[in-house]
């Protein structure tokens, strides 16, 4: 590169670095997905408590796939911007979620998808019948140094030379309740580390869940629904200020939760997302979550490994082996006296699992329930 061209780039980077865009709330976020953006089919989930399959593909308020994907409000939409004023952020330990009053999951679905796409994520999978959306891995490029020079290089196709060595993905879950819809964002992270002391090869490994990042994005979603920034920031700060709860004990192969059933159900649902278990079905009336490990936690080809793939002793108490590629479990919640709830892990038929497996799995859930 000629000297004059180098000077021009450095001068331009200085000008760009001096410019700043006001960021809502507190964390600077600028996500870019590793996966190419594709056209996602829009499906609005049926009411999750009383499914109506014949209305599965009807968008509320005459919306079209084009204007919903673009994040544009639609005429007559039940979730029109600046019309939703009954939103509250709630917390249990390090877990947070939104309660959107008097709105069904089907009404929030198109706005929720548009929100994640606007924030640089690609939708990897979705299950409208369960109210679950999962994003692909994305990098928060706001963490990169020399931002002005980086952006300039990106314009000429050289932005890939910069990388944070971290990736994030999110699982989003909607659940209808008599008070409205509960919205959960669960974070999972990976980081690139050296494979050995020679520092010639790197591997990706899981990193800790970031509850504050979950809260940040929940706050931004409140703003997407029409809440002003000051009010959203106040709600986030209020939930960040509370100390974590004491750890729930494990007694006789069961996790003893110090909450009644309703609150325990919410806490466990979010914890399952965080530890890499995919909810394939649920029955709240029976206190049951049906789960299986996420693909990235059982498929070693992506190099991620994961907690569940490390449990090579997947066997029930009767000695029957469970296929490592297709393990399925039931999470059973049982309220005891109105103030406490027990959590059990069973195989998909409801039979006990090996003591070693239960001890390790309950320990993992115990950590995420704080």
β-pairing, 277-283 with 166-177?
A: unpaired
Strand, coil or helix: what is 115? helix
Please give the pLDDT value at position 113: 95
Tens-digit pLDDT profile for residues 288-309: 999 988 775 444 434 344 566 5
HSE toward the beta carbon, residue 241, CA cutoff 13 A: 7
∠ CA 320-323-324, rounded to 5°:
125
Strand, coil or helix: what is 222? helix
CB neighbourhood size of 227 (10 A)? 20
Asked if pLDDT for residue 271 goes beyond 70, the answer is: yes
Backbone Cα Rg of the chain: 22
Tens-digit pLDDT profile for residues 183-217: 999 999 999 988 888 888 888 888 888 988 999 99
**Residue 136: enclosing H or E segment and its boundaries?**
none
Tens-digit pLDDT profile for residues 13-38: 333 333 333 445 778 888 988 776 55
Tokens of 40: 């996602």
pTM given for the model: 0.67
């Amino acid at each position: 590169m000629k000297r004059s061209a180098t000077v021009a780039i450095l001068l331009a980077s200085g000008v760009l670095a001096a410019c700043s865009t006001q960021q809502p709330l507190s964390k600077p976020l600028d996500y870019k997905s590793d996966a190419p953006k594709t056209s996602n089919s829009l499906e609005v989930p049926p009411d999750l408590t009383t499914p109506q399959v014949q209305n599965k593909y009807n968008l509320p308020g005459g919306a079209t796939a084009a204007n919903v994907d673009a994040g544009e409000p639609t005429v007559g939409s039940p979730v029109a911007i600046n019309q939703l004023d009954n939103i509250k952020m709630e917390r249990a330990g390090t877990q947070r979620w939104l309660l959107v009053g008097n709105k069904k999951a089907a009404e929030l679905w198109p706005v929720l998808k548009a929100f994640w796409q606007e924030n640089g994520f690609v939708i990897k999978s979705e299950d409208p019948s369960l109210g679950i959306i999962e994003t692909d891995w994305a990098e928060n490029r706001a963490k990169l140094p020399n931002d002005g020079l980086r952006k300039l290089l990106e314009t000429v196709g050289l932005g890939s030379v910069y990388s944070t060595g971290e990736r994030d993905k999110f699982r989003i879950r909607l659940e209808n309740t008599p008070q409205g819809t509960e919205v959960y964002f669960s974070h999972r992270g990976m980081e690139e580390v050296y494979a050995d002391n020679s520092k010639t090869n790197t591997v990706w490994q899981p990193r800790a869940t970031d509850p504050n990042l979950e809260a940040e994005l929940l706050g931004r979603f409140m703003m997407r629904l029409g809440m002003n920034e000051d009010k959203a920031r106040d709600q986030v700060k209020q939930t960040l200020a509370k100390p974590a709860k004491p750890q729930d004990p494990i007694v006789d192969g069961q996790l003893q939760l110090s909450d009644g059933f309703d609150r325990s159900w919410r806490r466990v649902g979010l914890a399952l997302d965080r530890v890499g278990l995919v909810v394939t079905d649920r029955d709240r009336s029976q206190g049951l979550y049906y789960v299986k490990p996420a693909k990235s936690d059982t498929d070693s080809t992506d190099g991620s490994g994961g907690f569940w793939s490390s449990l090579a002793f997947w066997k029930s108490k009767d000695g029957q082996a469970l296929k490592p590629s297709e393990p399925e479990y039931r999470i059973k919640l049982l309220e005891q006296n109105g103030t406490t709830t027990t959590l059990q892990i069973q195989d998909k038929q409801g039979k006990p699992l090996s003591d070693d497996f239960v001890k390790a799995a309950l320990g993992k859930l115990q950590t995420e329930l704080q």
